[in-house]
Amino acid sequence: MQFMKDKVVVIFGVANKRSIAWGITKALSDAGATLALNYQNDRMGEAVAKLAEDLPEKPYMAACDVTSEEELATYFDGIQREFGQVDGMVHSIATAKREELGGEFVDTSWDGYALSQQVSAYSLISMARHARPLMKDRDASIVCLSYYGAEKVVDGYNVMGVAKSALESNTRYLAANLGPEGIRVNAVSAGPIKTVSAMGVSGFSSILDSVAAKAPLRRNVTQDEVGSAAAFLLSDMARGITGQTIYVDSGFSIIGV
Ligand code: NAD
């Protein structure tokens, strides 16, 4: 069903075919959206371009490191020239120092804390600021990716859990700020999926095992299932939903002890 036909969606976070952002890209492409992708730096550009060959229509692609205001400005200038307006934006990016995704939380360094906040949480605000003028009068929608470690302690997730708490809070504050302009902002809290980022969390396989054993659906979610939920939130079908964190986690988050 082409429910995203005539909509332009900018997707941040495709690195390889395992990326959650790639699942979202495929879902949006199937729904008929016109797409723009970013890659973090020129080194990653070739891999993203190669992946994009599998899409029926070639997306707009350019480099953009979200920690650079200058690169964000240049990237969105390019989007403005190419499309003139934007109907949706996906924030599917995060980073942390590897040594802080494990060990004792009390040992978190300021540098590591600041880095994970800047890339994984603050960037949602700066991206929204740059996208805002292009979303004028479009009933636009912004979606970011969170995880259960935002609200409960997950072994090894440490500094990233704190960044995800900030991201979910940013989602609510941005939703309140931009709602009067018709811009919706929501988070998808995805269950664990084997991606390059996830493999950096110490003990990640046991997190997958725990979901498969305890979640109501008794299995882990797929990249495509997260992609479908994000596409729904970006579409007009979700036009009454904003400021929410929607779980796509096989129901794991409802289970107590
Ligand atoms: P991934 O490694 O495929 O994607 C992470 C992306 O972040 C990469 O494309 C990387 O280039 C990008 N990135 C990092 N720093 C950047 C910067 N400075 N500028 C621009 N881009 C930058 O891993 P993923 O698992 O697909 O992660 C996507 C999102 O989903 C993240 O927010 C992650 O926390 C979230 N998430 C992942 C899981 C999981 O289990 N995989 C579960 C819930 C939420």
Contact between 230 and 190 under an 8 Å Cβ cutoff? The reply is no
Q: Which of 229, 240, 227 lies closest to 139, judged by CA?
A: 240
Report, as an integer, the average pLDDT of 150-177: 98
User: Per the domain annotation, does 109 fall within a domain?
Assistant: yes
* Helix%, strand%, coil% for the chain, nearest 5: 50, 15, 35
Report, as an integer, the average pLDDT of 218-239: 98
Say if ligand 1 is within 6 A of residue 226 CB.
no
**With a threshold of 0.95, does the pTM exceed it?**
yes
Using pLDDT thresholds of 50, 70 and 90, give the confidence band for residue 198: very high
User: Per the domain annotation, does 86 fall within a domain?
Assistant: yes
Say if ligand 1 is within 6 A of residue 229 CB.
no
- pLDDT at residue 257 is higher than 90: no
Q: Name the residue with the closest Cα to ligand 1, atom 5.
A: 93
- For residue 156, give its domain range: 8-248
Determine which helix (DSSP H) or strand (DSSP E) holds 125, and give its type and residue range: helix 123-131
Say if ligand 1 is within 6 A of residue 193 CB.
yes
176 CA distance to ligand 1 centroid (A)?
25
Contact between 88 and 143 under an 8 Å Cβ cutoff? The reply is yes
User: Per the domain annotation, does 190 fall within a domain?
Assistant: yes
User: Per the domain annotation, does 255 fall within a domain?
Assistant: no
**Catalytic residue numbers?**
147, 157
User: Per the domain annotation, does 61 fall within a domain?
Assistant: yes
User: Per the domain annotation, does 254 fall within a domain?
Assistant: no
- pLDDT at residue 244 is higher than 90: yes
Q: Name the residue with the closest Cα to ligand 1, atom 3.
A: 19
User: Per the domain annotation, does 3 fall within a domain?
Assistant: no
> What pLDDT does residue 1 have?
86
Report, as an integer, the average pLDDT of 32-38: 98
Buried b / exposed e over 149-159, threshold 16 CB at 10 Å, is bbeeebebbbb
User: Per the domain annotation, does 253 fall within a domain?
Assistant: no
Amino acid 168 reads E
Per-residue pLDDT tens digits for 93-128: 999 999 999 999 999 999 999 999 999 999 999 999
Per-residue pLDDT tens digits for 212-226: 999 999 999 999 999
Total domains, the chain: 1
User: Ligand 1: which of 10, 18, 20 to mutate, judged by most atoms within 8 Å of the beta carbon?
Assistant: 20
State the chain's mean pLDDT as an integer: 97
CATH code for the domain of 202:
3.40.50.720
Per-residue pLDDT tens digits for 130-162: 999 999 999 999 999 999 999 999 999 999 999
- pLDDT at residue 59 is higher than 90: yes
